[in-house]
Amino acid sequence: MTAQLYCFGESGNAYKAALTLELAGVDWEPVYVDFFNGAARTDEYRQNINEMGEVPVLVDGDLRLTQSGVIQQYVIDTTGRLGGAPEDRYEVLRWTFWDNHKLSSQAGVTRFLMNFLAEDKRPKEAIAFLQGRLKAAYAVLNTHLEDREWVVGDSLTTADISCCGYLFYPEPFGFDSADWPHIDAWLTRISETPGWKHPYDLMPGSPADRA
């Protein structure tokens, strides 16, 4: 049975789930959620898809999962792929939780404020504050990658996919990979992985569709 992922192209969190499914070789298909027109906030969506009003949502038979990290762990558990060596399990989780708290949470909000709000409604002080927090997170990741190819272990894992979730997007939010050479080299390695796809190629929906 083909699994379904409720998602849209602009969502970095959905990208983490979609890329994990794709690189693990799972039979899946995207279900487009028209987020910017309020589809995820309708009563129908909250009652039938996700009470939190968010993407991604994975439906695999009778199982329904939300939150990208949970979906990633499900893929590891069901396919045996992208989890690294057995002894790396908790280190993969550690970096996934770090990303969710320190990197993606800040990047997602900053990118939204800078690109998906009208220019006169963009809170400059909040953006500057968030970019400061992001700079600290980039420094942690860049230093960690100085003498290693992958975030955990010696192969691509969901820790990498989680941490890169927002870093392939072209919209400006204060990240320039050229400023972070070890991150830049790591992103290149990820993009050269067989089966990798850019978020706008992997999931339906992009800013161009709404232009």
What's the CATH code of the domain at 54? Answer: 3.40.30.10
Number of domains comprising the chain? 2
Q: What's phi and psi for 28, nearest 5 deg?
A: -145, 165
Q: What's phi and psi for 6, nearest 5 deg?
A: -75, 125
Tell me, yes or no, whether 166 and 136 share the same domain: yes
CA distance 6 to 25: 18
Q: What is the pLDDT of residue 175?
A: 97
Tokens of 20: 């994990």
Range of the domain at 139: 86-191
pLDDT > 80? residue 30: yes
Tell me, yes or no, whether 76 and 10 share the same domain: yes
Tokens of 183: 């991150």
**Residues 127-177: tens digit of each pLDDT:** 999 999 999 999 999 999 999 999 999 999 999 999 999 999 999 999 999
DSSP reduced 3-state for 5: strand
**Residues 36-69: tens digit of each pLDDT:** 999 999 999 999 999 999 999 999 999 999 999 9
Phi-psi region at 153: left, alpha or beta (left = phi > 0; alpha = psi -120 to 50): left
Task: Return mean pLDDT, the chain.
Answer: 97
Tell me, yes or no, whether 113 and 42 share the same domain: no
Other Cβ atoms closer than 10 A to 85: 13
Tell me, yes or no, whether 8 and 58 share the same domain: yes
pTM: 0.97
User: What CATH code is carried by the domain that includes residue 183?
Assistant: 1.20.1050.10
